[in-house]
């Protein structure tokens, strides 16, 4: 069971107090309609990086302060390299041991289009 | 024949305290300090069980946790129901007064077992027997073969009555946890303890000492027993040290979370345990550093009939002799491939046992190759047959002799005449396997040491670090092991940032000096570890002919089975394991896996490390489920949440339904009523008079702050900015994928305050969802969320007489339809209780939802029931609630929706504020697929025969696809399924709703619902509303 430091409580707490809350630093495109085409919108909604290596993750201190925060975790060894508050810059970069990075650009288009749907 | 094989003195048993116990109904005597195995051996009993598959007679082979054969059920009399435990290893089951035990898998008796006929039929039960049988016929499998196997195979019989024992859970924290209190672990513990670190020493045995218990060496000028006693006494006196015996460190998990099972009372005589003492404790230990000193298992040799009772490990013979004062027999042959094991032969000789030795290592006429123990034995006049192999062991229920023959130098085949050595026990040693289980559980890898043919620990996993020391990392010599233990402890302590100082530095440390002890052990212990690897001892016949070569005793896997698996083209060790069931028994292959790898490496022509090991998983040894459950079985398994009115429901005969963790009143049957009659009566009361529902469980969240309205506008699909104070509105919540997530009514309490309600089951996840957006996406919004679900009790008064009743109890506000309109709320006083009343309806009838502080809930409920009696007030439960809402076509999120349905699919276009700038799910709703006319959509379903109530979950198919029989041979395309279905007395017929492909455009179409009993029920699709289609009643 992991030991995770909550950056708000400033304590090492056992994993059972937390919930994993998916990939970090994936802000919601604002005023969504008309800014992203269907293809890129689907990427934002459905795709996750799923990194084998050092990944930026969100965790939720569900049975504690109920704050969402970010963690840098090695998904192979499960070492938690750092935790930091929402909105802060990650102290360690992500790195992938193997596998391909899925292109994940928020390519903003001026007009909504579904031309790329189905690709 | 009482304890005929017990030595008159020596050992760690108390001859002054005899204990009697039973095995298979027969009474035996042993001593305090015995295990069941040692006591049986003292009485000359070797045959203790029948094997899993072939019902082979089996005996005690080990003296420890690795025992594959000697499984017994304990506490087996009728009077001990609730305490019986199956498949205990007799070798670690401590004897206590009056212990009752029995052998496993023997029918009708251990000595005469009918199942042993399986041995004669063995050629019909090859490796992969089950899988091959599956292929023949599933009918044959289920009808004939499986029942036979289930009866014939298997081990002990579980107790089917509830476990009456009590178990506790403990949480511990330590700087250094040391696993194993043999010489290495003791030395590590005393070293670590000197630093002042918090140390926990865990030992599965009842005694500390490990291998020293069978080996009377001198350490630090003391005999082993005094050394152990002094070290443990010193440790016990230190406040920073905890020594836990009878405690098995069963698992290592991420970041060194350890689990340990402590057996507290099993060894105590009846009546000795304290009234409140738990039977076991389950410890969860968070360790900063871990030192593993878990030792090694002796490895069996694989030869023909190597499973006969009386064939034991050399170390086990030594342990029974030294620790328990028990001779394994009168005449023993020691078959070894290393010299270290022969120290047991020397001790046996000195104990008066007639000993001879077979050493499979290369013959060397000058005996220069011989180890020191072999030399000593020769000097003692013991016959030593060097360079010999075992062709077969002989005997029926006990080994009676061993047939040996000289081998060629390469060990490939027989090179001379065989001869038989008579014996009544056979001690074997095929080398030693370091116990690397915990190391592997921590996520670290293994290295293979070709010299000793051992897997040894590789580098530790940095995130769950542990240091192995002593025999468990292949350091077998005693002096080296002591140094290794101290060294590992020093490294563990320095990793903590503390240094290991002299013991005097610790104020309460009474131990004199932290100097390294020196043992008297000589070459016999530390020198000659050369092993000759003959994974299969050469014989005169192939493994498939004649008697079997047993590899896995507990699952009856033979060398021929492994060879067959390879012939059938299994290559991966993980596949071979599952195909042959090797290592899959309760001992998890502790004695068999390495031998199997050796045999496979010979057959496959690859090295052992190329084959690799199978995965080591917790628990290290079998663990009682009750200990893991601790104090939380039964009612304590999960939280049960009850409403303030729960006692009333219970007193009035309600049956309850679990909704999330809540207990909700389901229906209130009157005498003689079944669920249908009760629900029908409850529904009619609401439609014709007045009914009362406990709605306290609905999630309630206060949304407060200057941006509260903006926030709701973004999390609901519809518009909220202009909702006036005092008004209520139904809201639908989507995920970012555009699919329905939750729904409920929210009310504006003030300009900057709303009360949101959620579904009962969705309350927690909705709150998390909202917090997520507030904390991470819309950090500029000034909004606070507070859960008030449990602060309010809610009584929902429904039906045409609801106003008449409420008017009698609430006089401070005008309840008329003009003054108190539908979808609004007012503060009021009801029977003197300050209340908030909402005119919202989930039944489609006139309704008032009365909210009062939780502690007033019961008073309100009782007053409503009393005053309502003249209106025939009827409490109704969730089942009637479901019928009433279905009559109106109101959906239940999670029943009518399943996470793949959007508002358009549900025909709820009216609630989507498409012209709003943004809301969660909006962008997804405009994806092309969301408008696909062939999406599954929500419709009403009416059976042509109004009396037929469809089962929920039933499938809908096109009329032309209607199957001719139940369970048609080929699949039929499904058009959709029934999500809600009831008998509606208001509609006077059955009603149903469901989702159907393109359903919104198919209203009026006729489909078929094929049922399990073969009936095809014709139905017609329509609108999902069955009563009061204009929706007039709720405005009443």
pLDDT in tens, B16-44: 999 999 999 999 999 999 999 999 999 99
- Quote the pTM value: 0.88
Q: Which residues pair with B833 in a beta bridge?
A: B830
The A residues from 5 to 34 touching B (CB cutoff 8 Å) are: 14-15, 19, 21, 27-33
Measured distance CA(B45)–CA(B111) in Å, rounded: 12
Q: What is the pLDDT of residue B540?
A: 82
Mean pLDDT, chain B, whole residue set: 91
Q: Do B699-788 and B298-430+528-611 fall under one CATH topology?
A: no
Question: Residue B706, Cβ neighbours under 10 Å: how many?
Answer: 11
Residues 6+ apart with CB under 8 A from B106: B49, B50, B55, B113, B115
Residue B502 has pLDDT above 70, yes or no: no
pLDDT in tens, B305-317: 999 999 999 999 9
Q: What is the pLDDT of residue B514?
A: 40
Q: What is the mean pLDDT of residues B206-213?
A: 96
Q: Which tokens in the block code for residue B1019?
A: 């139905």
Q: What is the pLDDT of residue B975?
A: 97
**% pLDDT > 70, chain A:** 78
Distance from CA of A30 to the nearest CA of B (A): 8
Q: What is the pLDDT of residue B500?
A: 60
Place of tokens 């000034």: B782
Residues 6+ apart with CB under 8 A from B635: none
Q: What is the mean pLDDT of residues B830-847?
A: 96
> Nearest Cβ partner of B463 from A62, A78, A114?
A78
Residue B505 has pLDDT above 50, yes or no: no
Among chain B residues, the shortest Cα distance to A117 is held by B928
Tell me if chain B has a CB within 8 Å of the CB of A1.
yes
Q: What is the mean pLDDT of residues B780-790?
A: 97
Q: What is the pLDDT of residue B152?
A: 65
Measured distance CA(A58)–CA(A68) in Å, rounded: 7
Query: CB pairs below 8 Å between A and B: how many?
Result: 69
Residue B1020 has pLDDT above 50, yes or no: yes
Min mean pLDDT across B136-145, B178-187, B901-910 is at: B136-145
Measured distance CA(B280)–CA(B531) in Å, rounded: 41
**Among B55, B57, B46, residue whose Cα is nearest residue B23:** B46
Measured distance CA(B343)–CA(B426) in Å, rounded: 15
How far is CA B472 from each of CA B228, B250, B261, rounded to the nearest angstrom? 20, 16, 21
Q: Which residues pair with B187 in a beta bridge?
A: none
**Among B154, B156, B204, B158, residue whose Cα is nearest residue B181:** B204
B699-788: CATH architecture? 2-Layer Sandwich (3.30)
Longest dimension (CA), chain B: 118
Distance from CA of B917 to the nearest CA of A (A): 7
Residues 6+ apart with CB under 8 A from B702: B749, B753, B754, B755, B756, B784, B785, B786, B788
Domain extents for chain B?
Answer: 167-296+434-526, 298-430+528-611, 666-688+876-905+929-1036, 699-788
Considering B559-573, B580-594, B647-661, the range whose residues carry the highest mean pLDDT is B647-661
Q: Residues B215, B230: contact at Cβ < 8 Å?
A: no
Pairing between strand B14-23 and B100-103? parallel
Q: Residues A94, A55: contact at Cβ < 8 Å?
A: yes
Distance from CA of A64 to the nearest CA of B (A): 13
Distance from CA of A104 to the nearest CA of B (A): 17
**Among B601, B595, B597, B606, residue whose Cα is nearest residue B303:** B595
List chain B residues with CB under 8 Å of A84: none
List chain A residues with CB under 8 Å of B253: 1
**% pLDDT > 70, chain B:** 92
Q: What is the mean pLDDT of residues B677-683?
A: 97
Q: If you classify domain B666-688+876-905+929-1036 with CATH, what class do you get?
A: alpha beta
C-beta atoms of A68 and B253 within 8 A: no
Q: If you classify domain B298-430+528-611 with CATH, what class do you get?
A: alpha beta
Q: What is the pLDDT of residue B504?
A: 35
Residue B191 has pLDDT above 70, yes or no: yes
Residue B509 has pLDDT above 70, yes or no: no
Residue B318 has pLDDT above 50, yes or no: yes
The DSSP string of B584-631 is -STTTTTTTHHHHHHHHHHHHTS-HHHH------S-SS---HHHHHTT
Residues 6+ apart with CB under 8 A from B124: none
Q: What is the mean pLDDT of residues B950-963?
A: 94
Min mean pLDDT across B150-159, B267-276, B511-520, B598-607 is at: B511-520
C-beta atoms of A86 and B775 within 8 A: yes
Q: Residues B878, B659: contact at Cβ < 8 Å?
A: yes
Dihedral of the CA atoms B481, B485, B487, B491 (nearest 10)?
150
Min mean pLDDT across B138-142, B405-409, B583-587 is at: B138-142
Q: What is the pLDDT of residue A43?
A: 86
Residue B102 has pLDDT above 50, yes or no: yes
- Going by CATH, does the domain composed of A3-96 fall within 1.10.510.10? no
pLDDT in tens, B259-282: 999 999 999 999 999 989 999 999
Model confidence at B362, pLDDT cuts 50, 70, 90, reads confident
C-beta atoms of A117 and B771 within 8 A: no
Q: What is the pLDDT of residue B613?
A: 85
C-beta atoms of B927 and A41 within 8 A: yes
C-beta atoms of B775 and A68 within 8 A: yes
Q: What is the pLDDT of residue B968?
A: 80
How far is CA B113 from each of CA B311, B497, B556, rounded to the nearest angstrom? 20, 62, 16
- The residue of B444, B775, B919, B921 whose CB has the most chain A CBs within 10 angstroms, and thus the best one to mutate to test that interface, is B775
More confident residue, B657 or A108: B657
Place of tokens 């498939």: B544
* CATH topology (fold) of B167-296+434-526: FAD/NAD(P)-binding domain (3.50.50)
For the packed helices B343-350 and B372-379, what is the interaxial angle rounded to 10 degrees?
Answer: 20
Longest dimension (CA), chain A: 50
Q: Residues B115, B108: contact at Cβ < 8 Å?
A: no
DSSP type of residue B774: I
> Nearest Cβ partner of A45 from B771, B917, B924?
B924
Residue B685 has pLDDT above 80, yes or no: yes
Q: What is the pLDDT of residue B110?
A: 76
SS3 per-residue string spanning chain A: CCEEEECCCCEEEEHHHCEEEEECCCCCCCCCCCCECHHHHHHHHHCCCCCCEEEEEEEECCCCCCCEEEEEEECCCCCEEEEEECCCCCCCCCEECCCCCCCCCCCECCCCCCCCCCC
List the alpha helices (DSSP H) in B824-943: 857-867, 878-887, 922-925
pLDDT in tens, A54-100: 999 999 999 999 999 999 999 988 999 999 999 999 999 999 887 77
pLDDT in tens, B445-471: 999 988 888 899 999 999 999 999 999
List chain A residues with CB under 8 Å of B461: 77
Place of tokens 């094989």: B5
Q: What is the mean pLDDT of residues B430-436?
A: 94
Question: Residue B910, Cβ neighbours under 10 Å: how many?
Answer: 8
Model confidence at B55, pLDDT cuts 50, 70, 90, reads confident
Q: What is the pLDDT of residue B451?
A: 80
**Among B961, B964, B990, B965, residue whose Cα is nearest residue B975:** B961
pLDDT in tens, B516-558: 566 555 444 444 567 788 888 888 888 888 789 999 999 899 9
């Amino acid at each position: 069971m992991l030991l995770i430091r909550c950056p708000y409580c400033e304590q090492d707490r056992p994993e059972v107090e937390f919930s994993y809350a998916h990939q970090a630093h994936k802000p919601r495109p604002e005023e969504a309609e008309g800014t992203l085409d269907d293809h890129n919108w689907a990427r934002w909604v459905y795709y996750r990086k799923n990194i084998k290596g050092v990944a930026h993750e969100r965790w939720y201190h569900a049975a504690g302060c109920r704050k969402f925060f970010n963690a840098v975790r090695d998904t192979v060894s499960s070492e938690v390299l750092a935790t930091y508050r929402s909105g802060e810059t990650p102290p360690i970069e992500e790195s992938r041991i193997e596998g391909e990075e899925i292109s994940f650009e928020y390519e903003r288009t001026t007009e909504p289009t579904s031309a790329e749907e189905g690709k | 024949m009482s304890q005929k094989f017990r030595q008159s003195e020596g050992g760690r048993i108390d001859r002054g305290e005899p204990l009697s116990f039973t095995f298979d109904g027969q009474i035996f005597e042993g001593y305090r300090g015995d295990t069941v195995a040692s006591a049986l051996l003292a009485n000359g009993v070797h045959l203790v069980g029948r094997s899993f598959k072939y019902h082979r007679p089996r005996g005690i082979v080990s003296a420890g946790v690795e025992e594959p054969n000697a499984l017994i059920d304990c506490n087996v009399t009728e009077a001990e129901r609730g305490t019986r435990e199956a498949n205990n290893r007799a070798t670690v089951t401590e004897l206590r007064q009056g212990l009752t035990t029995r052998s496993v898998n023997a029918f009708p008796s251990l000595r005469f077992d009918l199942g042993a006929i399986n041995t004669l039929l063995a050629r019909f039960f090859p490796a992969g027997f089950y899988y091959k049988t599956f292929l023949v016929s599933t009918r044959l499998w289920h009808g004939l073969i499986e029942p036979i196997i289930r009866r014939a195979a298997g081990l002990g019989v579980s107790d089917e009555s509830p476990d009456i024992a009590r178990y506790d859970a403990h949480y511990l924290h330590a700087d250094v946890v040391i696993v194993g209190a043999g010489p290495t672990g003791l030395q590590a513990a005393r070293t670590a303890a000197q630093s002042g670190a918090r140390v926990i020493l865990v030992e599965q045995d009842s005694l500390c000492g490990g291998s020293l218990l069978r080996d009377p060496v001198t350490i630090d000028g003391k005999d082993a027993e005094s050394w152990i006693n002094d070290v443990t006494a010193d440790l016990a006196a230190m406040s920073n040290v905890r020594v836990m015996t009878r405690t098995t460190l069963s698992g290592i998990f991420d970041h060194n979370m350890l689990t340990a099972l402590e057996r507290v009372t099993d060894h105590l005589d009846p009546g000795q345990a304290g009234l409140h003492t738990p039977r076991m404790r389950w410890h969860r230990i968070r360790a900063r550093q871990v030192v593993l000193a878990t030792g090694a298992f002796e490895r069996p040799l694989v030869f023909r009939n190597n499973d006969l009772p009386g064939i034991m490990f050399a170390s086990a013979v030594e342990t029974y002799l030294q620790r328990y004062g028990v001779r394994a027999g009168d005449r023993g042959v020691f078959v070894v491939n290393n010299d270290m094991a022969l120290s047991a032969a020397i001790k046996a000789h000195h104990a008066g046992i007639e000993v001879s030795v077979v050493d499979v290592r290369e013959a060397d006429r000058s005996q220069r190759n011989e180890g020191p123990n072999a030399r000593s034995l020769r000097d003692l006049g013991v016959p030593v047959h060097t360079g010999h192999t075992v062709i077969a062991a002989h005997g029926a229920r006990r080994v009676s002799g061993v047939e040996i023959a000289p081998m060629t130098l390469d060990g490939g085949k027989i090179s001379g005449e065989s001869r038989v050595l008579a014996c009544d026990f056979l001690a074997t040693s095929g080398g030693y396997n370091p116990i690397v289980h915990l190391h592997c559980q921590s996520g670290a890898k293994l290295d293979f040491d070709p010299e000793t043919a051992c897997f040894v620990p590789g580098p530790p996993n940095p995130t769950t670090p542990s240091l192995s020391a002593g025999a468990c990392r292949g350091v077998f010599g005693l002096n080296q092991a002591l140094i290794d233990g101290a060294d590992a402890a020093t490294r563990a302590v320095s990793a903590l940032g503390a240094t290991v100082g002299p013991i005097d530095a610790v104020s309460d440390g009474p131990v004199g000096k932290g100097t390294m002890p020196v043992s008297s052990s000589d070459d016999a212990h530390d020198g000659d570890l050369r092993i000759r690897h003959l994974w299969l001892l050469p014989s005169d016949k192939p493994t498939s002919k004649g008697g079997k070569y047993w590899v896995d005793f507990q699952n009856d896997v033979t060398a021929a089975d492994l060879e067959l698996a390879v012939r059938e083209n299994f290559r991966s060790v993980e596949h071979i394991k599952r195909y042959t069931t090797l290592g899959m028994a309760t001992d998890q292959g502790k004695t068999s896996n390495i031998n199997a790898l050796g045999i496979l490496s010979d057959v496959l022509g690859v090295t052992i490390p190329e084959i690799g090991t199978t995965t080591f998983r917790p628990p290290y040894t079998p663990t009682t489920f009750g200990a893991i459950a601790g104090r939380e079985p039964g009612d304590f398994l999960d939280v049960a949440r009850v409403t303030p009115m729960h006692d009333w429901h219970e007193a009035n005969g309600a049956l309850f339904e679990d909704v999330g963790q809540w207990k909700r009143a389901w229906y209130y049957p009157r005498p003689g009523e079944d669920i249908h009659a009760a629900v029908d009566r409850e529904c009619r009361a609401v439609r014709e008079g007045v009914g009362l529902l406990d709605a306290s469980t609905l999630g309630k969240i206060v949304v407060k702050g200057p941006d509260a309205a903006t926030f709701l506008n973004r999390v609901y699909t519809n518009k909220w900015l202009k909702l006036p104070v005092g008004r209520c509105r139904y809201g639908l919540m989507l995920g970012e994928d555009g699919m329905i997530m939750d729904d409920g009514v929210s009310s504006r309490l003030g300009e900057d305050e709303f009360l949101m309600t959620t579904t009962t089951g969705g309350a927690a996840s909705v709150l998390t969802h909202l917090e997520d957006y507030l904390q991470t996406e819309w950090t500029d919004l000034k909004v606070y969320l507070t859960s008030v679900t449990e602060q309010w009790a809610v009584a929902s008064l429904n039906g045409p007489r609801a106003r008449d009743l409420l008017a009698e109890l609430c006089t401070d506000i005008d309840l008329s339809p003009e003054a108190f309109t539908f979808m609004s709320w007012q503060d009021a006083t009801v029977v003197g209780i300050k209340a908030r009343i909402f005119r919202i309806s989930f039944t489609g009838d006139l309704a008032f939802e009365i909210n009062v502080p939780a502690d007033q809930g019961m008073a309100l409920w009782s007053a409503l029931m009393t005053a309502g009696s003249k209106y025939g007030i009827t409490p109704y439960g969730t089942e009637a609630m479901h019928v009433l809402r279905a009559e109106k076509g109101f959906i239940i999120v999670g029943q009518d929706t399943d996470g793949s349905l959007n508002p358009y699919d549900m025909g709820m276009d009216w609630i989507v504020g498409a012209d709003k700038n943004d809301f969660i799910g909006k962008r997804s709703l405009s994806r092309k697929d969301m408008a696909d006319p062939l999406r599954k959509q929500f419709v009403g379903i009416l059976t042509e025969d109004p009396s037929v109530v469809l089962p929920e979950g039933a499938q809908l198919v096109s009329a032309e696809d209607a199957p001719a029989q139940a369970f048609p041979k080929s699949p039929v395309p499904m058009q959709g399924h029934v999500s809600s279905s009831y008998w509606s007395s208001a509609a006077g017929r059955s009603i149903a709703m469901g989702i159907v492909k393109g359903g919104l455009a198919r209203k009026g179409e006729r489909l078929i619902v094929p049922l399990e009993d073969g009936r095809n029920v014709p139905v017609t699709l329509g609108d999902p509303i069955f009563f009061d289609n204009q929706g007039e009643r709720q405005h009443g």
